[in-house]
């Protein structure tokens, strides 16, 4: 199978390339592949894909609040260009979306049929991307994930690890609850989806849930650190973009298809162990 990955340099893109064995993988990355340019359609068609994982996006949540037009241009208009090309190629589109399409008013996990209502510009742009993808390419699967982290790029886990080694104390928001998801586990789930005729919307996030503060405490503990992690409110954090207070995802459709993701605690423990192993091996090689 010929598989095109947009945003292949991102944390999920790296993990997908690692696990997509036996396939021809084509990488589409900046600056050559730019969702703000109309050449995107021609580039997708030239790759002759059977499946396109559309991961490229404007992902700076606070930045999107300051640049809503750019976020919409990348995440919605750019996605439409990709979707039109995928449809012309008679291929399949798998589009990565987010828990931030929800407003957080629920107190039980969001299922695929719940009505989206984004609180911020980033969420609105990703939701519009979902709608355009489905409208332009019937053979589309929207995959909503949440609180994604991995070895590559900027994410919550790597940021907390860095801050815990630099500061004497941390303050982390305790009034946002979600589903931490390891990019390696999500990649494995997506590989299994390749063999299934799933369309529409699915949720794919780590099992269980926690607050950002609880997540940070778990990270520091696994670092064998003693840095205290104090609670902070979203209002005190003063971020530009409002976040949903509750955005836990239920992977109902994937579960019915026999696909489950590990509990976030198990995944985090495994990820931290892998990071320590890489550091030890790097030190040994440099000695």
The residues annotated as belonging to the active site are 122
> What is residue 148's three-state secondary structure?
strand
264, 179 in Cβ contact below 8 A? Answer: yes
Q: Which residues pair with 53 in a beta bridge?
A: 5, 94
Render 191-243 in DSSP notation, one character per residue: HHHTTS---EEEE---BS-EEHHHHHHHHHHHTT----EEEE-HHHHT-SS--
C-alpha–C-alpha distance, residues 185 and 204, integer Å:
10
CB atoms within 10 A of CB 105: 10
Q: Which residues, including other chains, have CB under 8 Å from residue 225's CB and lie 6 or more apart?
A: 164, 165
User: Rounded distance, CA 58 to CA 71, Å?
Assistant: 6
Q: Cis ω on the peptide bond leading into residue 51 (within 30° of 0)?
A: no
């Amino acid at each position: 199978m010929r598989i095109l990955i947009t945003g292949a340099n991102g944390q999920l893109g790296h993990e997908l390339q690692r696990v997509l064995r036996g396939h021809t993988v084509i990488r589409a990355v900046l600056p050559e592949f730019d969702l703000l340019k109309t050449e995107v359609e021609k580039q997708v068609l030239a790759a002759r894909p059977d499946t396109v994982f559309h991961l490229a996006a404007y992902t700076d949540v606070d930045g999107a609040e300051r640049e809503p037009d750019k976020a919409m241009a990348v995440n919605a208009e750019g996605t439409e260009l990709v979707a039109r090309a995928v449809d012309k190629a008679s291929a399949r589109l798998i589009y990565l979306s987010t828990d931030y399409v929800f407003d957080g008013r629920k107190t039980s996990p969001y299922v695929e049929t719940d009505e989206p209502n984004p609180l911020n510009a980033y969420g609105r742009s990703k939701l519009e991307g979902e709608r355009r993808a489905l409208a332009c390419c019937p053979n589309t699967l929207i995959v909503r994930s949440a609180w994604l982290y991995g070895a590559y790029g900027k994410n919550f886990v790597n940021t907390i690890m860095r801050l815990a080694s630099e500061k004497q104390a941390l303050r982390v928001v305790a009034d946002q609850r979600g589903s931490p998801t390891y990019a390696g586990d999500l990649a494995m789930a997506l590989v299994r989806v390749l063999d299934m005729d799933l369309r529409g919307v699915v949720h794919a996030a780590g099992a269980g849930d926690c607050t950002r503060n609880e997540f940070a405490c778990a990270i520091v503990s696994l670092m064998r650190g003693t840095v205290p992690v104090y609670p902070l409110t979203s209002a005190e954090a003063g971020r530009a973009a409002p976040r949903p207070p509750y955005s836990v995802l239920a992977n109902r459709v994937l579960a019915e298809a026999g696909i489950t993701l590990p509990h976030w605690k198990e995944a985090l423990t495994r990820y931290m162990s892998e990071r320590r192993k890489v550091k030890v091996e790097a030190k040994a090689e440099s000695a």
